Structure 1
């Protein structure tokens, strides 16, 4: 058995423990833009993440997806009055009160605003799949691979990635296009996703993938 400095003695690294196999990306991808809304990018907002780099990368990825002609889905969060449709999640996370009804903080950022014809899903929980039509939308479009961008890495991105593979699609989290409030949970969750649930690709890798599909007429 082997271990690295700082690891628990006798515990194998993921690749030797049977994790971190590589999934081959499919020929029919879609892009989901998860909760890229003002609440996370507006200084002074309670949910502000303090870093807009993921927004910039997500905007680039979105343009590449549109150029490749693949399906694009956006999500945002909205609750009914009092958060009745948010259950205990609404009670647990007090900041979700900013998403009751149609609020400015719940608006999708203009840099990644949906175009006419792009699906916008309104959700109440972390995963873009839970309680929504995302799975049936992707299945009807013949999608096999889902590129994932948005926030936050440790919350809605991880939940969406896990549900992606559980619904029979290949999850691809684009590293620069997702963000969190602190680099530690961001990196830890990207590590976990790559080890157990999907593929973590750089923006350059995702762009090359989309351009290759478009060049072959498969986008």
Structure 2
């Protein structure tokens, strides 16, 4: 994104922030007591150049941010969910396709279940034993999946959402997460898109209405607080 576009967007958001705050928007949902990391579509089709869904700033920003977050979650043995998207019936003429009607808008037939390399989680942030990989069929990681039930059974009250894209799957996941009763945190440096300006605009709007946008640094400090609280509880029981 050009410096001129970024400056123009920041100027517009500054004025919009004033208007929102005057009307009571941009309140804080806050961090809860037990977080989970929800990583949306950070699979090869989105993270590697040359694919139809490839997004910007993977190598220099999003993957390093994810690596830091994964290290924090794994250090404290907190839940991690890697979400990806693929389809078993990619014939667009088949009325029984699991693509639904979405293929009429975007080329989701390229994410064919028969080609696992394309929808596998990027090897730089690959799941380890004990972490869940969830396949979705629609934009939201909650729509038509068992994600909400899984999180509740794990005692989760807060979701840190990362991935792509800010304008679609990440945004829809955040909106549904809030609707399902989870405290929603959008991790600023770990969210991307394909279109210049889309991340800035969507994070601004998400922060106003659906989630708290927080930095990786703030989230890591929060994870350490959660980890210390867990240790204190465990020591008290022992």
Q: What's the TM-score once normalised by structure 2's chain length? A: 0.84
Stretches of structure 1 lacking an aligned partner (at least 5 in a row)? none
| 1:97 corresponds to | 109
Tell me, yes or no, if structure 1 residue 166 matches structure 2 residue 179.
yes
Do the aligned residues in 2 keep the contact of 1:58 with 1:178 (CA within 8 Å)?
Answer: no
Shift of 1:122: 0.6
Shift of 1:56: 1.6
Distance 1:50 1:20 in 2: 27
3-state secondary structure, aligned to 1:154: coil
**Residues 20 and 116 of structure 1: is their aligned pair in 2 closer, same or farther, counting only changes over 3 Å?**
same
Pick one of 118, 131, 134 that aligns with 2:147. 134
**Residues 46 and 91 of structure 1: is their aligned pair in 2 closer, same or farther, counting only changes over 3 Å?**
same
Shift of 1:12: 6.0
3-state secondary structure, aligned to 2:168: helix
Pick one of 65, 68, 76 that aligns with 2:73. 65
Pick one of 3, 14, 30 that aligns with 2:20. 14
- Extract structure 1 runs of 4+ deviating beyond 2 A: none
Tell me, yes or no, if structure 1 residue 149 matches structure 2 residue 194.
no
Distance 1:110 1:13 in 2: 43
Tell me, yes or no, if structure 1 residue 50 matches structure 2 residue 56.
yes
Distance 1:24 1:76 in 2: 27
Distance 2:141 2:189 in 1: 19
**Residues 194 and 50 of structure 1: is their aligned pair in 2 closer, same or farther, counting only changes over 3 Å?**
closer
Alignment RMSD: 2.1
Shift of 1:82: 2.3
Tell me, yes or no, if structure 1 residue 33 matches structure 2 residue 39.
yes
**Residues 132 and 6 of structure 1: is their aligned pair in 2 closer, same or farther, counting only changes over 3 Å?**
closer
Distance 2:86 2:54 in 1: 17
| 1:80 corresponds to | 88
Task: Tell me the matched-pair count.
Answer: 213
Distance 1:190 1:102 in 2: 34
